[in-house]
Amino acid sequence: MSTAPDESISIGELRAALLPDFPEITISKIRYLEDQGLLQPARTKSQYRKFSHADLARVRYVLTMQTEHYLPLKVIKANLDAMDRGLDVTTDPAKPRVPVLSMARSSDGLPSTEEFAKPTSRVRISRAELLEQSGLSEEMLTSMEQYGVITAERNGQFDTDAFEIATAVAALAEYGFEARHLRSFRTQADREIGLFAQVVTPLMRHKTPESRGKAEETIRELAALSVRLHATLVRSGLRRQVNS
C-alpha cells in the first residue's frame, strides 16, 4: 500500500502499509508509540486517529531503529526530536549533527542568487549544541550575542544562520580574532541591509504577489552582488599587499 504525501490514513491502513516489512506490527504497538510521545496523529471530530505520510515514515523509522540497531525508545524519541529540528542522525544516531550545507555558487565560485532564497528547511539547535558543533567558546558566543552578531530565537534556540555564523567566528578566532574585531562585520551588514531596504521598500508597498515576488528577487540579486563586490575588493587588496 502506498500513500500520497497529503493523504490521511486510518490506523488500520497504517498497519497494513507496514506489514510487508514489519509483520509483527500491531495496532496496539502503534497506539503504544503514540502513548510514548513518538507519534501525534491528527484527530477527526469523532476522535478517530488520522495518520499522515510523515507519520508512516516516523513509525517506519522507529521500527527500523528497534529491529536493526536495537535502540531503546528513549534514544529513538530523542533522535526523532533532533530530526524534527532539522538535524542529521544518519551518520551516528547517538550524536545528531547539523547537516552540511552546500552553498549555491555561480561559475566563478561566489554565492549565486539562489543562495539567498528562502531555505527549504530550518535547523533549530540548543545553545549547548551550537557550542559543541561549531567549536565556539561560551565566552565568544556571549560576546557575539552582545554585539548582535549571533542571535537566538525567542525560545532560546539557534537557527541555521546562527550556526553558520558561529562556525565562521570560531574559525576566525583560531587566527586570533576577538569579538571586538568581528563587530564591524555586523555593522557593515546592517548598513547594506539598510541600503537594500531603500530599493525594495517601494515594491513592498504594493501588496500583490507579483510585487512581493519582485521584491524578493531584487533582494537576492542585491545580496549576491554585495557579496561579489566585497569578495573582489578583499581579493584585490590582498593581492596588492602581497605584491607590494
What does the alpha-carbon distance between residue 74 and residue 68 come to, in Å, rounded to a whole number?
16
Kindly report the number of other CB atoms within 10 A of residue 13's CB atom: 16
CATH of 11-84, one of 3.90.1150.10, 3.40.50.10740, 1.20.1050.10, 1.10.1660.10: 1.10.1660.10
Give which of 68, 64, 101 is closest to 80, Cα–Cα.
64
What does the alpha-carbon distance between residue 17 and residue 21 come to, in Å, rounded to a whole number?
9
- Written as tens digits, the pLDDT of the chain (244 aa) is 444 445 789 999 999 999 999 999 999 999 999 999 999 999 888 888 899 999 999 999 999 999 998 889 999 999 999 989 989 887 776 678 888 765 556 666 677 777 777 665 678 999 999 999 999 999 999 999 999 999 999 899 999 899 999 999 999 999 999 999 999 999 999 999 999 999 988 888 877 888 888 888 998 899 889 988 988 899 899 888 888 7
Does residue 140 contact residue 173 with C-beta atoms inside 8 Å? Answer: yes
Architecture per CATH, domain 113-243, reads as Orthogonal Bundle (1.10)
Does residue 8 contact residue 46 with C-beta atoms inside 8 Å? Answer: no
Grid cell, residue 138, equals 561560551
Residue 162 confidence (pLDDT):
94
CATH 1.10.1660.10 domain position(s) in the chain: 11-84
Residue 34 confidence (pLDDT):
94
Integer CA distances (angstroms), 127 to 121, 163, 219, 230, in order: 19, 10, 30, 31
Contacts by 166-173 with C-beta closer than 8 Å and gap 24+?
166/130, 166/134, 166/136, 166/141, 167/134, 167/135, 167/136, 169/134, 169/136, 169/140, 169/144, 170/134, 170/135, 170/136, 170/137, 170/140, 171/135, 173/136, 173/137, 173/140
Grid cell, residue 40, equals 501525534
